[in-house]
Chains A and B, each alone.
Chain A
Amino acid sequence: MSKGQRTKAMSKSARDKIKEQQAAARAQERRRKIVTYVAAGAVAVAAVGAGWWYAASNSRSEEASGALAPITVQSDGAAVMAKQGVTGPVVDIYEDFQCPACKELERVSGQTFKNLAAEGLAKVVYHPITIFSQEPTKSNSVRAGSASRCVADGKQWMAFHDLLFENQPPETEPGFQPEQLVQWGKDAGITSPEFEQCVTSGKHAQTQLSYSKKVSDEQKLDHTPTVKLNGIEIDNGVLFSPQELREEITKAAK
């Protein structure tokens, strides 16, 4: 009320002047708000971007550095990858061809294990086990695991191992079918005539199951992947960060 009376009393030019000033102040206020809003938004987006970048770079895989260290398939089905004369530190990898986290481990850190073995910094032992107890994952895993037992040559074993993880079926449907396994075996360079028969007959299915049971009990495994460095489980945070993994294993090598 009092405001209206005051304006009435003012001269026209003074009133215009005040209006202009008010408009200018409003415009300035609006600009300030927009700048604040955009700045806050930019900081938020940058923070998300930084988080993504950190996570992505933390999990960046190593490049293949050259030829693999020699691989020998043991009679129990485990595969040992080590340079001649390297006996430690021992890295035991317990993994299931059907387990998605194992596939992720291979994607992120698989190359680090291979490089460390090739550099003579570790003796890496792969133990393909079946951890699943429900269908269809159990049968999938047994088919894949027992098929890997049909490969005698180390180099071919590793190529087959990599192909199995690459082609891992979803956990909800039957997969790792015998004909697929035979094909991937061929892709892996397996030429042995017994391979196909060994895979399709599921020759080593029982061995795969009994080996899994034995190893799981001995090593007290309740999840895959489990990776042990000289018998001590490596923490997941380290395991899935190739750089930290390399540091930890290299430290143990000294």
Chain B
Amino acid sequence: MTMPHPDLVAVLGCLLAVLVLASAVGYVLQRRLSPDGSNAVVENLNDRIRAWWIMVVLMGLALIGGKTGVTLLFAFCSFAALREFITLTNTRRADHWALAAGFFIMLPVQYYLIWIEWYGLYSIFIPVYAFLLMPIVAAARGDTEHFLVRIAEVQWALMICVFCTSHVPALLSLDIPGYQGRNVLLIAFLVIVVQMSDVLQYVWGKLLGRTKIAPRLSPSKTVEGFIGGALSATAVGAALSWMTPFTPLQAAFLALVIVLMGFFGGLVMSAIKRDRGIKDWGHLIAGHGGFLDRLDSVVFSAPIFFHLVRYGWSTT
């Protein structure tokens, strides 16, 4: 294995420093406000910080592991997200083979295509081939009840959980002149901007939040939190331009696109959760809910970010 790029080491070092600081603040808050574990906000904050440690360590290891590490990590994220999504669908006995094919054929094939960097096929594999083949498998069982709803749900689940998510590791296949060997930093840029946007929107919302932005979808989101979070996350993106092939202005623009897609993606996923009468997608990450709760904004921004960078900067 080759040594990780110095820029990657610098980024991971910064993230660890931030986490150490966050843990210290969480510890002091807990001693002051919640010594017996009774303050729910502080306990939730500390749960979240602990989960952040795990996520940053996993993400860091994957980035250091390069293409293999990142592809395996996101393939697993896709699997866990798909498992959460399908749990909430109306699928019936007759969908069994279509679902098994989704998990054990479509998902591995999509990530294999990403791995061999076959852009022409991984871009259409799920939107065309899965789209046509899965309903055929379901129809073969002869159960027509809610048929359109069922096949639409399965296709939507594959698009969100597998197709969109797989565009994160696909960033490694871009060939940007003068940026060879540093593509993992594009992933770090995307993930940091998305997650900082979530955190900063939460913080600005807690500080200044007055006007609800979408009371029926997501009662905790406010206009003030959204604007403050989007602007400050855009600034974070500009400040991270040193690790990207972009100028600060370009980095700010891409960060803004990422933030907007992430925000509206979060609203879409909230609408689905509302529809199904649940608060969180799952229970795997303490303080965060399920994989999809943490992944929803990345999912919506990854394909757009990928294509913008591909058209604007890549030679492939």
A and B, one complex? no
* Interface positions of A (Cβ within 8 A of B): none
- Listed in ascending order, the chain B residues whose CB lies under 8 Å from chain A are none
